[in-house]
Amino acid sequence: MKAITYTEYGPPDVLKLTEVEKPTPKDHEVLIRVLAASVNPLDWRLLRGRPFFTRLLMGGLRRPKPTRPGVDVAGKVEAVDRSVTAFKPGDEVFGTCRGAFAEYACAVEEKLALKPANIPFEEAAALPVAAISALQALRDKGGVRPGQKVLIDGASGGVGTFAIQIAKQLGAEVTAVCSTGNVDRARSLGADHVIDYTREDFTKSGQRYDLIIAANSHRPIFDYRRALSRDGTYVMIGGGWSQIFQAVFLGPLLSWIGSRKMTFFVAKITRTDLAFLGDLLAAGKIVSVIERRYPLSDVAEAVRYLEDGHAKGKVVITVEHHDV
C-alpha cells in the first residue's frame, strides 16, 4: 500500500510517499481503509524532533522509530482482530490511529467511534484531536457552566474553531481572540464577542473572564492571570514552547498561591467523547471548518502549511484508492 513515511527528523521535506506493507491489526485493533485524515500540530512537532526531549516520545534520539505520521482518521473497517467487539468489517468509523497518512492504518477500538451516516469522511477526520481537546479543556479541565464568560485565545485554528462552537453548546458567553481576517468566521461560528488581537489587547481591557482557554497561547502566563476573574480558571492547550513550560511548571505554583487556577492539559481520546462530538456534528450543532484539502501525495505541503501557524480551521488529507 501507499503510505507517507520518514526516516529522519527534519522539515516536512523529509516526508516521502512510499510503498510499505499493509499493517495487520493486533490485540483490540481494527484495520481501517483510510478515506480521509487530518493534520495536527502534533504531526509537525514529532517530525521536527525539537525540542530534543520530544524525541523521547518518538522512541528514537537520533532517528525517529515510528516512521508513519498521521493521527486523525476516518474510513471503513477492512478487518478486525478477533478480540475486537465494537466494530465489524464494513463499518464506517472515525477517531485516532497510528500512521493515518496512508491507504490503510490500524487503530485501537477504544479510540474509534461509528461515523454518523450523514457526515462526509473528511468532516469526520477533521474532528478527533482538535474537537476532543476543545471539549475536554472546556468541560473537564475548565468545568465550564452555563452563563460563564469564556475567552478563547487562538480561536481560528483547528482547536479554536471547535472550542467556540462547543463552548456555545455548553451555554457559555464566548469571546474569541483571532487576527483580522478571521473575525467574521469566529462570529459565524457563534462567538458573542470577537477581539482582533492585532488591534486590541484583551489583557488590558479591564474585562475579566471565568475561564480562559488558550488554544494557541503566545503570551506570558501572567497576562492570562490578569484577565481572569477572582476564581477564574486558565486552561492551556497549546502554543509556543515557552508558554507550555510556563503552564506546566509555573501553573501549579500560581494556582497554589492564589484563588485562580492555572493549568496545562493533555487530551485523552475516548470513544464516548468521539461519539458525543459525532452526534453534535450529525445534528448540525457543530461543524468541521475545513480550510484546505490535499491528496496523500501532498502531505508534506499540508504539514508545511499547518506549521506556518495560520491555518483557518482544519487541513484535511483525502485518500483515493485505485484498487477497485
Binding region for ligand NAP (CB under 6 A)? 40-42, 129-130, 133, 153-154, 156-160, 177-179, 182, 197, 215-216, 218, 237-239, 265-267, 306, 309-312
Q: Which is nearer to ligand NAP, 135 or 296 (CB)?
A: 135
What sign does the CA torsion over 318, 10, 19, 93 have?
negative
Q: Which of 158, 2, 133, 159 lies closest to 68 in space, CA to CA? A: 2
The minimum distance between CB 79 and ligand NAP, in angstroms, equals 29
- The residue assigned the cell 514529532 is 46
Closest residue to ligand NAP: CB criterion? 238
Q: Which is nearer to ligand NAP, 30 or 73 (CB)?
A: 73
The minimum distance between CB 13 and ligand NAP, in angstroms, equals 19
The minimum distance between CB 61 and ligand NAP, in angstroms, equals 21
Burial 168-192 (b: 16+ CB within 10 A, else e): bbbebbbbbbbeeebbebbeebbbe
3-state helix, strand, coil in the chain (%, to 5): 35, 25, 40
The minimum distance between CB 165 and ligand NAP, in angstroms, equals 13
DSSP state of 314: E
What sign does the CA torsion over 48, 123, 189, 186 have?
positive
The minimum distance between CB 213 and ligand NAP, in angstroms, equals 10
Q: Which is nearer to ligand NAP, 42 or 282 (CB)?
A: 42
Q: Which is nearer to ligand NAP, 92 or 156 (CB)?
A: 156
8 A C-beta contact, residue 258 and residue 233: no
Q: Which is nearer to ligand NAP, 178 or 228 (CB)?
A: 178
Please state the φ and ψ torsions of residue 50, each to the nearest 5 degrees: -130, 140
